[in-house]
Amino acid sequence: MFQFSYKLKVAERVKAKCERHPRYNPEREGRGGIKGGCSICFSLFDLHQARLSLDAAHREFLRRALPWTRVRRSRTKPQFPKQDEPPMQNTTL
């Protein structure tokens, strides 16, 4: 049986802009919007593509793994009757 625990948290915020092409947006313009073979714009595009592929891989993993996962429930202590109270008895008239 194959078992592993999985926890992913990505909390990175990137604010980057090309000095020569400050209006370049890799999300809107894609690879075709890069002017003059600018290496910084290519890096921004690659960063955007890496983020998209990470998100896609995460969604694919969840889609395939969710049918076999079990929800963990916290253990609760068993409820025993209090010692001061007598156990409930059946009384008939």
Tell me the pLDDT tens digit for each residue of 11-62. Answer: 888 888 999 999 999 999 999 999 988 999 999 999 999 999 998 998 998 8
Tell me what pLDDT residue 93 has.
57
| Integer Cα distance of 18 and 44 in angstroms | 8
Domain ranges of the chain: 26-67
Neighbouring C-beta atoms of residue 54, cutoff 10 Å: 12
| Integer Cα distance of 26 and 43 in angstroms | 10
Task: Find all residues with CB under 8 Å of 47, minimum gap 6, and list them.
Answer: 14, 16, 26
Tell me what pLDDT residue 90 has.
66
CB 33 within 8 A of CB 18: no
Is the model's pTM score more than 0.75? Answer: no
